[in-house]
Amino acid sequence: MDRDREPDPQLASELRSTAGQEWNEDAAEDERLTEVHRRRTMTLGDQAKELVNRGDRVSVEFGGHSFSGLVAAAGSDYATVNGPGQVADIRLEEARWSILPSDITTESNVAGAESFKALLHEHSAGAKVVRFALPGGDMVIGKVTVVAEDHVEMADVDNRALIVPLKLIFAVVRSPDAQ
């Protein structure tokens, strides 16, 4: 009978190899689909926090301004970018972000304020001079004095009181020592 014959080792090896290859391909496809689903459910805040965790460098354009540097902190609606000689806290929804290729990995897992408004409160408490990046490339320079529900009050360099609607502030740019 055929039952008494030894199985063909070549055939057995080929069957195992084919099945193993199919399983590996299925597992790779499952991982790819899982990653696609994860990325589809991400918010801008999630993306920014990922940029921080990876230590990515970016180039950002917002309202006629541009800024480049290391993404050092992020909240739900902003990211802090450390550039050469200055730091910018940029509202995520007002900017276009380009992730710069890099061979260098940097550990940058700095926790920031939870939101852009909370960050403005920190700047108000710090009483340091900051610059607001506004639409059309405009900048307003001064100290944040009050953060209200829908606007910010600041004293400019000539000690004039300014009222700036929150929705017009694309970013807060400051020197690194004003953190």
Which residues, other chains included, contact 103 with Cβ-Cβ below 8 Å and sequence gap of 6+? none
52 and 33, same structural domain?
no
Q: Which residues constitute the domain of residue 118?
A: 47-179
100 and 35, same structural domain?
no
**CB-based contact 108:71 (threshold 8 Å):** yes
Phi, psi (deg, nearest 5) at residue 94 = -105, 5
The tens digit of pLDDT for each residue in 6-36 reads 777 777 677 677 777 788 788 888 888 888 8
86 and 24, same structural domain?
no
CA-CA distance, 122 to 153, in Å (whole number)?
A: 14
The tens digit of pLDDT for each residue in 95-147 reads 999 998 876 655 555 567 889 999 999 999 988 899 999 999 999 999 999 99
